[in-house]
Amino acid sequence: MAPADDGALQAQSVNRPVQTGPLDGVKVVDLTTVVVGPICTRTLADQGADVVKVEAPGGDILRFLAAGSRTPAMSGKFINFNRNKRSIGLNIKQPEGLAALKALIAEADVFVSNVRPEALLRAGLDHASLSAANPRLIHCSILAFGRGGRYYNRPAYDPIIQSLSGVAGTFHRAIGEPRFVPMVMTDHTTGLIAAQSIGFALYRREKTGVGEAIDVPMFENMASFVTSEHLGAATFDPPEGPTGDARLLSPDYRPLPTLDGYITVGPNNNAQAFAFFAAIGKPELKDDPRFNTAITRTQNADAFFKVRVEGLAQKTTAEWLEIFAACDVPAARYNSIDDLLEDPHLLDTGFWNFDDHPTEGRIRRTSVANKFSGGMRQETLPAPQLGRDTRGVLAALGYPETQIEAMLASGAAFEGL
Protein backbone atom coordinates (compact mmCIF):
# COMPACT_ATOMS: atom_id res chain seq x y z
CA MET A 1 0.00 0.00 0.00
CA ALA A 2 1.32 3.39 -0.93
CA PRO A 3 1.33 6.13 1.70
CA ALA A 4 -1.66 8.44 1.73
CA ASP A 5 -1.11 11.83 0.16
CA ASP A 6 -0.51 14.79 2.49
CA GLY A 7 -3.66 16.55 1.32
CA ALA A 8 -5.88 13.68 2.46
CA LEU A 9 -4.24 13.56 5.86
CA GLN A 10 -4.49 17.32 6.29
CA ALA A 11 -8.16 17.27 5.31
CA GLN A 12 -8.79 14.52 7.83
CA SER A 13 -7.03 16.41 10.63
CA VAL A 14 -9.02 19.57 9.87
CA ASN A 15 -12.24 17.62 10.50
CA ARG A 16 -11.02 16.10 13.76
CA PRO A 17 -11.79 17.82 17.09
CA VAL A 18 -9.09 19.18 19.32
CA GLN A 19 -8.23 16.56 21.96
CA THR A 20 -6.83 17.63 25.29
CA GLY A 21 -8.31 15.03 27.62
CA PRO A 22 -6.35 12.55 29.77
CA LEU A 23 -6.53 9.96 26.95
CA ASP A 24 -5.30 12.34 24.26
CA GLY A 25 -3.23 10.35 21.77
CA VAL A 26 -4.75 6.95 22.66
CA LYS A 27 -6.07 5.19 19.56
CA VAL A 28 -9.04 2.89 20.05
CA VAL A 29 -10.59 0.47 17.56
CA ASP A 30 -14.20 -0.16 18.54
CA LEU A 31 -15.81 -3.37 17.27
CA THR A 32 -18.86 -3.14 19.51
CA THR A 33 -22.61 -2.77 19.08
CA VAL A 34 -25.77 -1.95 21.02
CA VAL A 35 -25.00 -0.45 24.48
CA VAL A 36 -22.40 -2.22 26.64
CA GLY A 37 -19.50 -1.71 24.22
CA PRO A 38 -20.47 1.74 22.94
CA ILE A 39 -20.79 3.01 26.53
CA CYS A 40 -17.23 1.81 27.17
CA THR A 41 -15.81 3.42 24.05
CA ARG A 42 -17.82 6.63 24.47
CA THR A 43 -16.29 6.99 27.92
CA LEU A 44 -12.82 6.66 26.37
CA ALA A 45 -13.72 9.06 23.56
CA ASP A 46 -15.09 11.67 25.97
CA GLN A 47 -11.70 11.67 27.69
CA GLY A 48 -9.85 12.43 24.45
CA ALA A 49 -9.21 9.02 22.88
CA ASP A 50 -9.43 8.76 19.10
CA VAL A 51 -12.14 6.10 18.69
CA VAL A 52 -12.81 4.50 15.31
CA LYS A 53 -16.10 2.60 15.33
CA VAL A 54 -15.98 -0.34 12.92
CA GLU A 55 -19.42 -1.21 11.57
CA ALA A 56 -20.58 -4.18 9.55
CA PRO A 57 -22.96 -3.88 6.57
CA GLY A 58 -26.26 -2.58 7.94
CA GLY A 59 -24.50 -0.89 10.85
CA ASP A 60 -24.87 -1.13 14.60
CA ILE A 61 -28.41 -2.37 15.32
CA LEU A 62 -28.77 0.40 17.91
CA ARG A 63 -29.06 2.81 14.98
CA PHE A 64 -32.60 1.43 14.52
CA LEU A 65 -33.71 0.44 18.03
CA ALA A 66 -35.40 3.61 19.26
CA ALA A 67 -38.39 5.66 18.19
CA GLY A 68 -38.16 9.27 17.10
CA SER A 69 -35.37 9.11 14.54
CA ARG A 70 -35.33 11.98 12.05
CA THR A 71 -33.35 10.10 9.42
CA PRO A 72 -32.73 6.39 8.87
CA ALA A 73 -30.08 4.72 11.03
CA MET A 74 -29.69 7.65 13.45
CA SER A 75 -31.80 6.81 16.51
CA GLY A 76 -31.61 8.97 19.60
CA LYS A 77 -29.97 6.17 21.54
CA PHE A 78 -27.30 5.71 18.90
CA ILE A 79 -26.59 9.44 18.90
CA ASN A 80 -26.23 9.48 22.70
CA PHE A 81 -23.93 6.45 22.93
CA ASN A 82 -21.66 7.19 19.97
CA ARG A 83 -20.55 10.79 20.14
CA ASN A 84 -16.88 11.62 19.67
CA LYS A 85 -16.31 8.62 17.39
CA ARG A 86 -15.52 8.09 13.73
CA SER A 87 -17.27 5.36 11.74
CA ILE A 88 -15.67 3.10 9.17
CA GLY A 89 -17.77 0.59 7.26
CA LEU A 90 -16.00 -2.74 6.71
CA ASN A 91 -17.30 -6.14 5.71
CA ILE A 92 -14.84 -8.29 7.66
CA LYS A 93 -16.30 -11.43 6.11
CA GLN A 94 -14.43 -10.37 2.99
CA PRO A 95 -10.63 -10.80 3.09
CA GLU A 96 -9.91 -7.16 2.19
CA GLY A 97 -12.28 -5.89 4.84
CA LEU A 98 -10.74 -8.10 7.52
CA ALA A 99 -7.23 -7.11 6.42
CA ALA A 100 -8.15 -3.43 6.76
CA LEU A 101 -9.46 -4.02 10.29
CA LYS A 102 -6.25 -5.82 11.26
CA ALA A 103 -4.18 -2.98 9.78
CA LEU A 104 -6.16 -0.51 11.87
CA ILE A 105 -5.64 -2.58 15.03
CA ALA A 106 -1.91 -2.90 14.32
CA GLU A 107 -1.61 0.88 14.82
CA ALA A 108 -3.99 1.08 17.80
CA ASP A 109 -3.47 1.22 21.54
CA VAL A 110 -6.77 -0.44 22.41
CA PHE A 111 -9.11 -2.90 20.69
CA VAL A 112 -12.57 -3.28 22.25
CA SER A 113 -15.07 -5.93 21.19
CA ASN A 114 -18.30 -7.45 22.42
CA VAL A 115 -18.22 -10.11 19.72
CA ARG A 116 -18.33 -13.64 21.10
CA PRO A 117 -14.78 -14.94 21.66
CA GLU A 118 -15.11 -17.97 19.37
CA ALA A 119 -16.01 -15.68 16.48
CA LEU A 120 -12.99 -13.46 17.25
CA LEU A 121 -10.74 -16.52 17.27
CA ARG A 122 -12.02 -17.72 13.89
CA ALA A 123 -11.31 -14.30 12.39
CA GLY A 124 -7.83 -14.06 13.90
CA LEU A 125 -8.94 -11.17 16.12
CA ASP A 126 -8.08 -12.86 19.41
CA HIS A 127 -5.41 -11.37 21.64
CA ALA A 128 -2.69 -13.88 20.77
CA SER A 129 -3.06 -13.26 17.04
CA LEU A 130 -3.25 -9.48 17.23
CA SER A 131 -0.50 -8.99 19.80
CA ALA A 132 1.97 -10.75 17.51
CA ALA A 133 1.78 -7.69 15.25
CA ASN A 134 1.18 -5.17 18.05
CA PRO A 135 2.63 -6.26 21.41
CA ARG A 136 1.54 -2.97 23.05
CA LEU A 137 -2.13 -3.64 22.26
CA ILE A 138 -4.71 -3.60 25.04
CA HIS A 139 -7.27 -6.20 23.92
CA CYS A 140 -10.59 -5.85 25.78
CA SER A 141 -13.30 -8.47 25.33
CA ILE A 142 -16.65 -7.61 26.87
CA LEU A 143 -18.27 -10.99 27.44
CA ALA A 144 -21.69 -12.15 28.51
CA PHE A 145 -20.11 -14.85 30.71
CA GLY A 146 -16.57 -15.48 31.91
CA ARG A 147 -14.30 -18.13 30.46
CA GLY A 148 -14.26 -21.51 32.16
CA GLY A 149 -17.92 -21.58 33.14
CA ARG A 150 -20.71 -23.55 31.54
CA TYR A 151 -22.43 -20.42 30.23
CA TYR A 152 -19.32 -19.25 28.38
CA ASN A 153 -19.87 -18.26 24.74
CA ARG A 154 -23.66 -18.07 25.16
CA PRO A 155 -25.30 -14.94 23.74
CA ALA A 156 -26.92 -12.52 26.17
CA TYR A 157 -28.42 -9.07 26.38
CA ASP A 158 -29.17 -6.87 29.37
CA PRO A 159 -32.44 -8.53 30.48
CA ILE A 160 -30.80 -11.97 30.40
CA ILE A 161 -28.11 -10.71 32.76
CA GLN A 162 -30.58 -8.82 34.99
CA SER A 163 -32.56 -12.04 35.36
CA LEU A 164 -29.59 -14.32 35.97
CA SER A 165 -27.48 -12.06 38.19
CA GLY A 166 -30.10 -11.37 40.86
CA VAL A 167 -31.03 -7.83 39.79
CA ALA A 168 -34.59 -8.93 39.01
CA GLY A 169 -34.50 -11.00 42.19
CA THR A 170 -34.09 -7.91 44.34
CA PHE A 171 -37.48 -6.73 43.07
CA HIS A 172 -38.93 -10.16 43.82
CA ARG A 173 -37.82 -9.81 47.44
CA ALA A 174 -39.05 -6.22 47.67
CA ILE A 175 -42.41 -6.26 45.87
CA GLY A 176 -43.26 -9.94 45.45
CA GLU A 177 -42.47 -10.37 41.76
CA PRO A 178 -39.28 -10.23 39.70
CA ARG A 179 -38.89 -7.10 37.58
CA PHE A 180 -36.21 -5.54 35.42
CA VAL A 181 -34.74 -2.13 36.14
CA PRO A 182 -36.33 -0.16 33.26
CA MET A 183 -33.02 0.79 31.72
CA VAL A 184 -30.16 -1.35 30.45
CA MET A 185 -28.37 -1.05 33.75
CA THR A 186 -26.14 -4.11 33.37
CA ASP A 187 -24.92 -2.80 30.00
CA HIS A 188 -24.14 0.62 31.48
CA THR A 189 -22.42 -0.81 34.53
CA THR A 190 -20.32 -3.34 32.64
CA GLY A 191 -19.41 -0.82 29.95
CA LEU A 192 -18.09 1.59 32.57
CA ILE A 193 -16.16 -1.22 34.28
CA ALA A 194 -14.61 -2.09 30.92
CA ALA A 195 -13.50 1.51 30.40
CA GLN A 196 -12.04 1.56 33.90
CA SER A 197 -10.20 -1.72 33.25
CA ILE A 198 -8.73 -0.32 30.04
CA GLY A 199 -7.45 2.68 31.99
CA PHE A 200 -5.77 0.34 34.47
CA ALA A 201 -4.16 -1.63 31.64
CA LEU A 202 -2.91 1.53 29.95
CA TYR A 203 -1.31 2.59 33.22
CA ARG A 204 0.46 -0.77 33.55
CA ARG A 205 1.61 -0.56 29.94
CA GLU A 206 3.25 2.77 30.73
CA LYS A 207 5.41 0.91 33.26
CA THR A 208 6.03 -2.32 31.34
CA GLY A 209 5.75 -1.32 27.69
CA VAL A 210 3.60 -4.40 27.04
CA GLY A 211 -0.11 -4.68 26.37
CA GLU A 212 -2.46 -7.35 27.68
CA ALA A 213 -5.83 -9.04 27.28
CA ILE A 214 -8.79 -8.04 29.45
CA ASP A 215 -11.99 -10.05 29.91
CA VAL A 216 -14.96 -8.10 31.28
CA PRO A 217 -17.91 -10.49 31.81
CA MET A 218 -21.36 -9.03 32.34
CA PHE A 219 -22.73 -11.86 34.49
CA GLU A 220 -19.88 -12.03 36.99
CA ASN A 221 -19.67 -8.25 37.31
CA MET A 222 -23.38 -7.90 37.97
CA ALA A 223 -23.44 -10.89 40.34
CA SER A 224 -20.68 -9.12 42.27
CA PHE A 225 -22.66 -5.88 42.13
CA VAL A 226 -25.76 -7.51 43.63
CA THR A 227 -24.07 -9.72 46.21
CA SER A 228 -21.73 -7.01 47.47
CA GLU A 229 -24.91 -5.19 48.48
CA HIS A 230 -27.06 -8.13 49.52
CA LEU A 231 -24.81 -10.98 50.65
CA GLY A 232 -25.25 -9.65 54.17
CA ALA A 233 -25.14 -12.29 56.89
CA ALA A 234 -24.30 -14.96 54.31
CA THR A 235 -20.86 -13.33 54.15
CA PHE A 236 -20.04 -15.60 57.07
CA ASP A 237 -19.58 -19.36 56.76
CA PRO A 238 -21.85 -20.72 58.06
CA PRO A 239 -24.30 -17.84 57.49
CA GLU A 240 -25.25 -15.69 60.45
CA GLY A 241 -28.65 -14.93 58.92
CA PRO A 242 -30.45 -14.41 55.61
CA THR A 243 -29.16 -12.65 52.53
CA GLY A 244 -30.42 -9.20 51.65
CA ASP A 245 -30.29 -5.67 53.06
CA ALA A 246 -33.69 -5.26 54.71
CA ARG A 247 -33.68 -1.50 54.20
CA LEU A 248 -33.14 -1.72 50.46
CA LEU A 249 -35.60 -4.59 50.08
CA SER A 250 -38.44 -2.86 51.93
CA PRO A 251 -41.42 -2.22 49.62
CA ASP A 252 -41.41 1.34 50.99
CA TYR A 253 -37.83 1.97 49.88
CA ARG A 254 -39.03 4.38 47.21
CA PRO A 255 -40.08 7.99 46.69
CA LEU A 256 -42.93 8.53 49.15
CA PRO A 257 -46.21 10.45 48.63
CA THR A 258 -46.71 13.95 49.96
CA LEU A 259 -49.88 16.03 49.72
CA ASP A 260 -49.07 17.03 46.13
CA GLY A 261 -46.39 14.70 44.81
CA TYR A 262 -43.45 12.67 46.03
CA ILE A 263 -40.30 13.15 48.09
CA THR A 264 -37.33 11.05 49.10
CA VAL A 265 -35.74 11.39 52.51
CA GLY A 266 -32.63 9.74 53.90
CA PRO A 267 -32.31 10.17 57.66
CA ASN A 268 -29.52 7.70 58.43
CA ASN A 269 -27.55 8.79 61.48
CA ASN A 270 -29.11 9.58 64.85
CA ALA A 271 -29.07 13.35 64.45
CA GLN A 272 -30.88 13.11 61.13
CA ALA A 273 -33.38 10.49 62.34
CA PHE A 274 -34.25 12.39 65.50
CA ALA A 275 -34.65 15.63 63.54
CA PHE A 276 -36.92 13.79 61.12
CA PHE A 277 -39.07 12.48 63.96
CA ALA A 278 -39.42 16.02 65.33
CA ALA A 279 -40.29 17.39 61.88
CA ILE A 280 -43.17 14.96 61.40
CA GLY A 281 -44.50 15.71 64.89
CA LYS A 282 -43.35 12.51 66.60
CA PRO A 283 -40.28 13.48 68.63
CA GLU A 284 -41.01 10.67 71.11
CA LEU A 285 -39.87 8.09 68.51
CA LYS A 286 -36.26 8.94 69.28
CA ASP A 287 -36.75 6.98 72.51
CA ASP A 288 -38.53 4.07 70.85
CA PRO A 289 -36.20 1.04 71.14
CA ARG A 290 -37.00 0.13 67.53
CA PHE A 291 -35.64 3.45 66.27
CA ASN A 292 -33.19 4.89 68.81
CA THR A 293 -30.01 3.65 67.08
CA ALA A 294 -28.90 3.07 63.50
CA ILE A 295 -28.70 -0.67 64.25
CA THR A 296 -32.25 -0.94 65.56
CA ARG A 297 -33.61 1.19 62.70
CA THR A 298 -31.97 -1.24 60.29
CA GLN A 299 -33.35 -4.23 62.16
CA ASN A 300 -36.81 -2.66 62.02
CA ALA A 301 -36.52 -1.22 58.54
CA ASP A 302 -40.11 -1.93 57.48
CA ALA A 303 -41.51 -0.20 60.57
CA PHE A 304 -39.15 2.75 60.13
CA PHE A 305 -40.28 3.16 56.53
CA LYS A 306 -43.94 3.00 57.59
CA VAL A 307 -43.25 5.95 59.92
CA ARG A 308 -41.90 7.85 56.92
CA VAL A 309 -44.92 6.98 54.78
CA GLU A 310 -47.39 8.18 57.39
CA GLY A 311 -45.46 11.30 58.34
CA LEU A 312 -44.75 12.62 54.85
CA ALA A 313 -48.39 12.52 53.76
CA GLN A 314 -49.10 15.55 55.97
CA LYS A 315 -47.54 18.36 53.86
CA THR A 316 -46.61 19.32 50.30
CA THR A 317 -43.27 18.48 48.76
CA ALA A 318 -42.15 22.12 48.83
CA GLU A 319 -43.06 22.46 52.50
CA TRP A 320 -41.11 19.35 53.42
CA LEU A 321 -38.06 20.41 51.44
CA GLU A 322 -37.97 23.71 53.33
CA ILE A 323 -38.40 21.98 56.70
CA PHE A 324 -35.76 19.32 56.02
CA ALA A 325 -33.27 21.88 54.70
CA ALA A 326 -33.63 23.81 57.96
CA CYS A 327 -32.98 20.75 60.14
CA ASP A 328 -30.31 19.19 57.89
CA VAL A 329 -32.19 16.02 56.96
CA PRO A 330 -31.16 14.73 53.51
CA ALA A 331 -34.13 15.08 51.17
CA ALA A 332 -34.88 15.63 47.51
CA ARG A 333 -37.89 16.04 45.33
CA TYR A 334 -38.84 13.26 42.97
CA ASN A 335 -37.90 13.87 39.33
CA SER A 336 -39.67 12.19 36.46
CA ILE A 337 -37.64 11.55 33.31
CA ASP A 338 -39.16 14.69 31.80
CA ASP A 339 -38.34 16.69 34.94
CA LEU A 340 -34.63 16.04 34.37
CA LEU A 341 -34.77 18.20 31.25
CA GLU A 342 -35.52 21.23 33.45
CA ASP A 343 -33.82 20.29 36.71
CA PRO A 344 -32.36 23.56 38.04
CA HIS A 345 -29.12 22.02 39.29
CA LEU A 346 -28.45 20.36 35.94
CA LEU A 347 -29.12 23.67 34.23
CA ASP A 348 -26.77 25.45 36.65
CA THR A 349 -23.90 23.06 35.92
CA GLY A 350 -24.30 23.08 32.15
CA PHE A 351 -25.25 19.41 32.08
CA TRP A 352 -27.45 19.85 29.02
CA ASN A 353 -25.91 20.95 25.76
CA PHE A 354 -27.44 21.66 22.36
CA ASP A 355 -25.56 20.98 19.14
CA ASP A 356 -26.31 21.23 15.45
CA HIS A 357 -25.85 17.73 14.09
CA PRO A 358 -24.88 17.61 10.38
CA THR A 359 -27.84 15.37 9.48
CA GLU A 360 -30.16 15.40 12.50
CA GLY A 361 -30.46 19.13 13.09
CA ARG A 362 -30.55 20.51 16.61
CA ILE A 363 -29.97 17.83 19.24
CA ARG A 364 -29.77 17.75 23.03
CA ARG A 365 -26.88 15.90 24.66
CA THR A 366 -25.42 15.43 28.09
CA SER A 367 -22.09 16.90 29.07
CA VAL A 368 -19.29 14.83 30.55
CA ALA A 369 -20.05 14.83 34.27
CA ASN A 370 -16.49 14.27 35.53
CA LYS A 371 -14.03 17.15 35.28
CA PHE A 372 -10.23 17.04 35.02
CA SER A 373 -8.17 20.05 36.04
CA GLY A 374 -5.46 18.97 33.61
CA GLY A 375 -7.77 19.52 30.65
CA MET A 376 -10.69 17.89 28.90
CA ARG A 377 -11.82 17.32 25.38
CA GLN A 378 -12.71 20.75 24.05
CA GLU A 379 -15.02 19.85 21.19
CA THR A 380 -17.70 17.22 20.65
CA LEU A 381 -17.70 15.18 17.48
CA PRO A 382 -21.31 14.30 16.59
CA ALA A 383 -22.32 10.64 16.42
CA PRO A 384 -21.35 9.50 12.93
CA GLN A 385 -23.46 8.46 10.01
CA LEU A 386 -22.70 4.89 8.99
CA GLY A 387 -19.33 4.78 7.25
CA ARG A 388 -18.91 8.56 7.38
CA ASP A 389 -15.14 8.27 7.85
CA THR A 390 -14.40 5.18 5.77
CA ARG A 391 -12.35 6.99 3.15
CA GLY A 392 -10.40 9.10 5.63
CA VAL A 393 -9.53 6.19 7.93
CA LEU A 394 -8.38 4.00 5.04
CA ALA A 395 -6.37 6.86 3.57
CA ALA A 396 -4.64 7.44 6.91
CA LEU A 397 -3.70 3.73 6.95
CA GLY A 398 -1.92 4.23 3.63
CA TYR A 399 -4.51 2.89 1.21
CA PRO A 400 -4.29 4.67 -2.17
CA GLU A 401 -7.47 6.15 -3.62
CA THR A 402 -7.66 3.47 -6.32
CA GLN A 403 -7.67 0.69 -3.72
CA ILE A 404 -10.26 2.50 -1.60
CA GLU A 405 -12.52 2.82 -4.63
CA ALA A 406 -12.06 -0.86 -5.43
CA MET A 407 -12.95 -1.85 -1.86
CA LEU A 408 -16.06 0.32 -1.98
CA ALA A 409 -17.05 -1.22 -5.29
CA SER A 410 -16.59 -4.78 -4.00
CA GLY A 411 -18.36 -4.18 -0.71
CA ALA A 412 -15.28 -4.89 1.41
CA ALA A 413 -15.69 -1.29 2.62
CA PHE A 414 -18.75 0.92 2.43
CA GLU A 415 -20.21 4.33 3.13
CA GLY A 416 -23.81 4.55 4.33
CA LEU A 417 -26.56 1.96 4.17
User: Does the residue 248 lie in any domain?
Assistant: no
The verdict on 156 and 297 lying in the same domain is no
User: Does the residue 278 lie in any domain?
Assistant: yes
> What range does the domain containing 87 cover?
6-225+363-414
The verdict on 89 and 214 lying in the same domain is yes
Q: Which of 333, 353, 374 is the last residue of a domain?
A: 333
Encode 161-184: b = buried (16+ Cβ within 10 Å), e = exposed.
Answer: bbebbbbbbbbebbeeeeeeeeeb
Dihedral sign of CA atoms 189, 191, 194, 196 in order: negative
What is the domain-level CATH number for residue 294?
A: 3.30.1540.10
User: Does the residue 304 lie in any domain?
Assistant: yes
Dihedral sign of CA atoms 35, 41, 45, 47 in order: positive
Q: Which of 250, 254, 295 is closest to 273 using CA atoms?
A: 295
* pLDDT (tens place) for every residue of the chain, 417 residues total: 334 443 433 334 344 545 589 999 999 999 999 999 999 999 999 999 999 999 999 999 999 987 778 888 999 999 999 999 999 999 999 999 999 999 999 999 999 999 999 999 999 999 999 999 999 999 999 999 999 999 998 999 999 999 999 999 999 999 999 999 999 999 999 999 999 999 999 999 999 999 999 999 999 999 999 999 999 999 999 999 999 999 999 999 999 999 999 999 999 999 999 999 999 999 999 999 999 999 999 999 999 999 999 999 999 999 999 999 999 999 999 999 999 999 999 999 999 999 999 999 999 999 999 999 999 998 899 999 999 999 999 999 999 999 999 999 999 999 988
User: Does the residue 240 lie in any domain?
Assistant: no
The verdict on 305 and 373 lying in the same domain is no
The verdict on 382 and 294 lying in the same domain is no
The verdict on 287 and 194 lying in the same domain is no
Q: Which of 295, 316, 333 is the last residue of a domain?
A: 333
pTM above 0.85, yes or no: yes
What is the domain-level CATH number for residue 130?
A: 3.40.50.10540
User: Does the residue 1 lie in any domain?
Assistant: no
Total count of domains within the chain? 2
Is residue 139 a contact partner of residue 108, using CB atoms and an 8 Å limit? no
The verdict on 327 and 380 lying in the same domain is no
Q: CA geometry: angle at 5 spanning 2 and 8, to 5°?
A: 125
The verdict on 149 and 19 lying in the same domain is yes
Length of the chain: 417
The verdict on 185 and 311 lying in the same domain is no
User: Does the residue 246 lie in any domain?
Assistant: no
The verdict on 209 and 324 lying in the same domain is no
User: Does the residue 376 lie in any domain?
Assistant: yes
The verdict on 93 and 157 lying in the same domain is yes
Count of Cβ atoms closer than 10 Å to residue 77 Cβ: 20
User: Does the residue 353 lie in any domain?
Assistant: no
Q: Which of 317, 333, 349 is the last residue of a domain?
A: 333
